[in-house]
Structure 1
Amino acid sequence: MWSFADIRPDYSRAERVSDGIVHILGVTSALVAVPVLITVTAQNRSEPEAVLGVFVYGVALVLMLTFSALYNMIESERWADLLRRLDHTGIYVKIAGTYTPFLLLPGVQAPGLLIGLWSSATLGSVLKLIDPGRFRWFGLALYLMMGWAVVWAGQSMLSALTPTVVWLIIAGGSVYTVGVLFYLCEQLPFHNTIWHVFVLAGSALFFIAIYVQILFGPQPVV
């Protein structure tokens, strides 16, 4: 995600304030919801992999939202470049982290997909840390490919998910994808705010998907 100064130097105060409100809402919600999800998982799932997967997801979600908030809300020439790199890498980590709880649950058995996602996240993060602007289009394509991992996840993963969870994942991916269109419309007023609203909406859908799978998905055979 580009900062306001990179996108449009004349970004209005109203646009800045609106985007700041969206970020504060996102970070605050995550800081409240993630501990609740971890607690619910620990209380309802006996396997440690489930708790580990949700913990990884929670950390990734909070990091992504925090990096984005810092980058888009702090106007500092000294820190702008570093925050931009962290913001971009946070997205890769969040995508891989979001799929981790699903892939660690019993019955999924898709280690190849898990390794592929985190390998892609590592590659994308390294490229963004080296030069966040140079690999913009490749980075965007990698974001989308990772985000739609459910499409090529294979039967082992899809059969372990409840139909509701599958539809929530598809809905979340669709929301993210539509949001990218606003992200690319750099001359549209409030486009950055709109893009971040779509990010929060997509994140909320994936959060609900994980919550539903934890509570109602297949339990390990004792």
Structure 2
Amino acid sequence: MTKSLALPPVSRGALRADACIHVLGLAASIAACVTLAAAMPWPVEWVPAFALGLYALGLVAMLGCSAAYNLAAEGRGKRLLRRLDHAAIFVMIAGTYSPVALLGLGGGWGWSVAAFVWAGALAGAGLKLFAPGRFERAAIAAYLLLGWAGIVAIVPLAAALPGLDLALLGAGGLLYSLGVIVHVSRRMPYQNAIWHGFVLAAAACHFVVVLRLAKGLG
């Protein structure tokens, strides 16, 4: 590879910044799950428990696998963690849709959206786990398309959810999408830390929506 094509080395400062963001994200994901559990009225019916459980699974899986992969030393184990990291993004997308579709939207629309997104997410996760390194650009497009798939149900969503929730869902989607631009900008200083910062900000927007849905069960 020529010098003009070679990526610049990652500075220690960038590595430390990314590590701090991952530690913060993992801690926040655990705190978020505890907060959700405390916000739900007990006992919980199976649909809310199922939907919120899928969300918690996706949140911890994405941030946990990302932290494990990005903080791990080079080697065979890191390559496995990379597969899990990329697969967990699909799980997080579907996990986030679960409470929005099943609790916020509900009915036939809700179950249809949830089933469609989970089918796509499981297919994408399987591809990342068993065919790593292939279709990388297609996978990025799949993340974005699956993340915005709910727009097909925008009319019933707008009727079912408060304006604040819709705004937060849209803001989270935009933050994830803008983060993808940073993710592919490999020469940007502190690129990885900035990309993961966008991820945390987007996840925070969506968490507020899920928390409001959980509180609304009472």
User: Fold match, TM over 0.5?
Assistant: yes
Q: Residue 32 of structure 2 aligns with which residue?
A: 33
Q: CA deviation at 1:46?
A: 5.3
Stretch of structure 1 that moved more, 175-184 or 126-135: 126-135
Letter in 2 for 1:124: G
Q: CA deviation at 1:9?
A: 7.2
Stretch of structure 1 that moved more, 199-208 or 101-110: 101-110
The C-alpha deviation readout for 1:44-84, integer Å capped at 9, x for no partner, is x8543112211110111001101000110101312121101
SS at match of 1:25: helix
- Which whole-Å CA distance do the structure 2 matches of 1:173 and 1:164 have between them? 14
- Which whole-Å CA distance do the structure 1 matches of 2:85 and 2:112 have between them? 27
Q: CA deviation at 1:193?
A: 0.4
Q: Residue 93 of structure 1 aligns with which residue?
A: 91
Tell me the number of residue pairs that the alignment of Structure 1 and Structure 2 aligns.
211
- Which whole-Å CA distance do the structure 2 matches of 1:106 and 1:200 have between them? 23
Q: CA RMSD of the aligned region, Å?
A: 2.0
Q: Residue 134 of structure 1 aligns with which residue?
A: 134
Check conservation: 2:58, 2:95, Cα contact below 8 A.
yes
- Which whole-Å CA distance do the structure 2 matches of 1:41 and 1:143 have between them? 30
Q: Does 1:196 align with 2:196?
A: yes
Map 1:163-178 onto structure 2 (within 5 A). 163-178=163-178
Letter in 1 for 2:176: Y
SS at match of 1:159: helix
Letter in 2 for 1:206: H
Letter in 1 for 2:144: L
Q: Residue 3 of structure 1 aligns with which residue?
A: none
- Which whole-Å CA distance do the structure 2 matches of 1:152 and 1:61 have between them? 24
Q: Percent identity?
A: 35
Letter in 2 for 1:200: L
- Which whole-Å CA distance do the structure 1 matches of 2:214 and 2:36 have between them? 9
- Which whole-Å CA distance do the structure 1 matches of 2:51 and 2:193 have between them? 30
- Which whole-Å CA distance do the structure 1 matches of 2:29 and 2:105 have between them? 28
Map 1:1-222 onto structure 2 (within 5 A). 8=7, 10-43=9-42, 47-105=45-103, 108-109=106-107, 110=109, 111-216=111-216
| TM-score, scaled relative to structure 1 | 0.88
Where do 5+ consecutive residues of structure 1 fail to align?
1-6
| TM-score, scaled relative to structure 2 | 0.90
